[in-house]
Amino acid sequence: MKAIAADPVLDPSDVSRLLHATHDDPFAILGPHKRGRATYVTAMDPGADRLEAVIGSKAYPLARIDGALFSGKVPGGKPYRLRGTGADGAVWDYDDAYRFGPVLSDFDEYLLGEGNHERLWEALGAHVMTHEGTAGTHFAVWAPSASRVSVVGDFNAWDGRRHPMRRRGGTGVWEIFVPGAGEGAAYKYEITGPSGQVGPLKADPVGFGAQHPPQTASIVRDIAGYGWHDAAWMAERSERNRREAPISVYEVHLGSWKRIWDQNGRPLSYKEAAADLVAYARDMGFTHLELMPVSEFPFDGSWGYQPVGMYAPTIRFGPAHEFRDLVDAAHEAGLGIILDWVPGHFPTDAHGLGQFDGTHLYEHADPKEGFHQDWNTLIYNYGRAEVANFLTANALYWLDEYHVDGLRVDAVASMLYRDYSRKDGEWIPNKDGGRENYEAIALFKRMNIAAYGKYPGIMTIAEESTSFPRVSSPVDAGGLGFGFKWNMGWMNDTLDYITREPIHRKYHHHQMTFGIHYAFSENFVLPISHDEVVHGKGSMLAKMPGNDWEKFANLRAYYGFMWGHPGKKLLFMGCEFAQPEEWNHDSQINWDAAEQPAHKGIQSLVRDLNALYRSTPALHVRDCDPAGFDWIDSTDADQSTLSFIRRGQEGDAPCVVLCNFTPVERTGFRIGVPNAGHWREMLNTDASVYGGANRGNLGGVDAVEEPYQGQPASMAVTLPPLATLIFQLGAE
């Protein structure tokens, strides 16, 4: 076969840069190019001893230019494949990535350039597709300061010379279509920084899948084409997520909810959780599951709060479609799914976002702004348009592609304040000299406007531990735009109170009443989260004072108070049956304890509290409205009792909640109530079915028209020790 002449105009510097993987415009050299009337193909194949361009049944030899670079003349205007022959005689055929045109549109380029591509994941990342009639994967990544970017993977021997990418104008985005690469391929990006230094291989910031840790490559995942079965849920979820709705959240760490011990103690898969976890949460009467972060993360001990793959459901429990199976099953069971979302920081792992293109791209360069001293992590540069776009689009991605119903945003306070956990001299003020982080505030507003605007019926929840104003007010009313906010003050005060010996509680009575002073300043969730049962804090049961009986009674009374108090509810897994030990992410919650009578009693109580909360408008409709609450007596510190009224809308029967936080039974205990008539005892935490002694009111009490405590009627009740009672007027 006669050799064809090599391209006569290849510049030696281009050849050298291609061979050394430093060329910033490989498409200008590689692939088919016209030289006058002739067409030449230039190709790089480090494994080939000989290389040919194959058109139909004819092969056109390419001459070796230097090393792994080949070039030769071919008939113009016809698609070709390459055929390599190794020194050992092995032969392989493949499509040349450099004969394919760009995939990203001019409009993509425009939106990427201005940092306003709300469907960023459809432009960047790895997309399985058919392009110009050929199957493969399109890779695109943002690396504006890079002088060269190559995609490397198991489809090209992890060789950065084989697939250097095309730079897209001034956007900083690089792209390439790799024919033949498909679902399941492992890949990373090899990036040469502006100084010519090749950095560590980087996982894809917008990758949809990842290898099992401790391996760190991204995995090509085709996330298109899932068949959802949740149309009924999606049509009605606006009603399920309203602030007037009963919202009771079961917070779960998927890795330690339940394990399969005869299979090396592995956690449940997404598909197994779709059966077991969903059925359990539904049986317990919760309305929503909140999953601790599922975005891919390298270190198990971070529980997901130091994510690397913000667009990838962690492979620990299965691939992306199986995570959808979990969401779909929850929706079919009438449960919402809330994801913990972490835009506050990211870890310094070499394959992650830190110095991604050889510069401080995603993070601030100055550690006074860009380094979290508490967590040894990096802080996003929220003021950079493309970074804000990356995070906003990520929130929309989970709501869109995975049908999640809400995002609980982690560590909001650490984002709102530039001096968060920093001493004087360790932080940089804003442009006005203050401590507020204007750029993070703008991000929250942008994210919430986009999320609520595009996906009506979802909810966003801020974990915010300060008194920053209007966190859960709409943006157009001067707020941050969140739907709800965790009430950290209520949690801290009431837990501090309930862990004290009853004899001392009268001196701390204000801790149980102070929360009402601000209870309606935000749309609050009352959180007993994972943070309260780890790192030496002990389990909820272990916090309680007294002997065993008193510990359980204290906890039952506290849960009754919590469910009676204004605010949506959140309880971490294991707390619903009073797990004796604090949470250990390396094991599972103590299901054996859940079978013991006293623990089963707590579990039954939580189930009944959820049922009562959901079925009783007075206990939920005005959780966030001061018209739904009145004190009966908030001043009985000496006896450590509390009594208050919960109201729904006009026509809803009111409820009275009565708490006794001493181990002293009180008979003939008189309280004022808003109406005369029969008040049914809807719940008594001292009931024997919960592990109590069945002291109470034989199902109900009649109130008479004798004013007391500022109310027009009153009734005398038996108030068991360490117990909460909930009465409802006229209940059948």
Single-letter residue type at 591:
W
Establish whether the linkage from the previous residue to 654 is cis, with ω within 30° of 0: no
Query: What does the pLDDT look like over 214-256, one tens digit per residue?
Result: 999 999 999 999 999 999 999 999 999 999 999 999 999 999 9
Element (H, E) at 289: strand 288-291
Side-chain half-sphere of 4: how many Cα atoms within 13 Å? Answer: 20
Q: In the chain, what are the domain boundaries?
A: 12-99, 106-219, 245-277+286-342+382-552+576-601
Active site residue 122: no
CATH architecture of 106-219: Sandwich (2.60)
Strand residue runs (E) in 221-279:
248-252, 259-260, 266-267
CATH assignment of 245-277+286-342+382-552+576-601, given 3.30.360.10, 3.20.20.80, 2.60.120.10, 2.130.10.10? 3.20.20.80
Q: What is the pLDDT of residue 528?
A: 98
Which residue, among 301, 278, 309, 275, has the nearest Cα to 291 in the 3D structure?
278
Q: What is the pLDDT of residue 3?
A: 46
What is the spatial distance between Cα 299 and Cα 375, in angstroms, rounded to a whole number?
13
* 541: helix, strand or coil: helix
Determine how many CB atoms are found less than 10 A away from the CB of residue 698: 8
Which residue, among 453, 228, 230, 455, has the nearest Cα to 335 in the 3D structure?
230
Spot the catalytic one: 95, 118, 325, 463.
463
Q: What is the pLDDT of residue 76?
A: 82
What is the spatial distance between Cα 668 and Cα 610, in angstroms, rounded to a whole number?
29
Q: What is the pLDDT of residue 510?
A: 98
Q: What is the pLDDT of residue 709?
A: 97
* 412: helix, strand or coil: helix
Query: To 5 degrees, how large is the angle CA 273–CA 274–CA 280?
Result: 70
CB 675 within 8 A of CB 713: yes
Q: For the chain, percent helix, then strand, then coil, each to nearest 5?
A: 30, 25, 45
Bridge partners, residue 178, by sequence: 137
Determine how many CB atoms are found less than 10 A away from the CB of residue 417: 18
Ranges of the chain whose pLDDT falls below 50: 1-3
Q: What is the pLDDT of residue 10?
A: 84
Spot the catalytic one: 410, 464, 493, 582.
410
Q: What is the pLDDT of residue 11?
A: 87
Describe the strand order of the beta sheet including 125-131 as a list of residue ranges.
125-131, 134-142, 173-179, 166-168
Active site residue 550: no
Structure tokens at 113: 């350039």
- Does the domain at residues 12-99 carry the CATH identifier 3.40.50.720? no
Element (H, E) at 249: strand 248-252
What is the spatial distance between Cα 674 and Cα 712, in angstroms, rounded to a whole number?
6
* 639: helix, strand or coil: coil
The yes-or-no answer to whether 12-99 and 245-277+286-342+382-552+576-601 have a common fold is no
* 619: helix, strand or coil: helix
What is the spatial distance between Cα 429 and Cα 423, in angstroms, rounded to a whole number?
12
